Amino acid sequence: KPITMKFSRRKFVKATGAGVLAAGMPSIVSGAAADPPTPKDLFRLAVAGYTFAKISLDDSLAMMKRVGVNLLGVKDFHLPLTSTKEVIDQTLAKMKSFGVEPYGVGPIYMKSEAAVDQAFAYAKLAGVTLVVGVPDVQFLPYVEKKVKEYNFRLAIHNHGPDLPLYPSAESIWKEIKNLDPGIGFCFDIAHETRLGLDPIEAYIKYKDRIFDFHIWDCDKPEKAGWCVEAGRGIIDFPKFFKTLRENNYTGTCSLEY
């Protein structure tokens, strides 16, 4: 993300610990007032690959093992889009040795049909059916064709005030509402917040097409908002997770920093 962080990614992962991650974060915000973790939760906790942008894959996997989260959104700096099947298989084997598996790939930017083809072929080799992507609007019909061909899901990532393409959940919905339901959202709640919008309201509105969340905190509802440790910013995490539970959300909640 092109915003500044006050706390290093490595320190964030070390500081959070298994209790914070496994509980889905509400406990760090309001203590006893937060809903306790429960086996009734239908959503899965994961880590977004961008969290480890400056950390090696081995160290990233070791951190995930330490905190007890076993699902990773794979980014191309750990597994390049041009990787051969052999390299992908080796990387997957390494992940498995740490008890980690990929749940999806991306975000992947798609500025041509060839880039769309590459993204779907890459996901297939990685053994996942969720592609987090940022396709140029003109290629959405082609993306829809690939979603049907592969029987995959494509989750479009919003980027708040930093990029003109898909800044908000609403901007994504305007482009996909008449497309195949296999095209939906990877909803970044902090970027929505940095637009001065309420991510919980957006979730309620678009919940049937939200496949994945990128979850982090920020300290201001504006472009200058800093990325801060979850619970030290302005997002109401207890309310957020309570809403997911009330609406039986079944996708992934991918922690990011």
pTM above 0.75, yes or no: yes
- CATH H-level superfamily of 9-255: Divalent-metal-dependent TIM barrel enzymes (3.20.20.150)
pLDDT of residue 115: 99
Q: Which residues pair with 210 in a beta bridge?
A: 185
Mark 229-252 as b/e (b = at least 16 C-beta within 10 Å): bbbebebbbbebbebbbeeebebb
**Low-confidence spans in the chain with pLDDT less than 50:** 1-7, 12, 15-24, 26-34
What whole-number distance in Å separates Cα of residue 80 and Cα of residue 65? Answer: 23
Whether omega for the bond prior to residue 107 falls within 30 degrees of 0, making it cis, is: yes
What whole-number distance in Å separates Cα of residue 26 and Cα of residue 34? Answer: 6
The residue extents of the domains of the chain are 9-255
Residue whose token pair is 């309310």: 239
pLDDT of residue 40: 78
CA distance readout (Å), 183 to 42, 121, 132, 156, 255: 21, 17, 10, 8, 22
What whole-number distance in Å separates Cα of residue 166 and Cα of residue 100? Answer: 30
* Phi, psi torsion values for 208, nearest 5 degrees: -70, -15
Closest CA to 70 of 27, 18, 122: 18
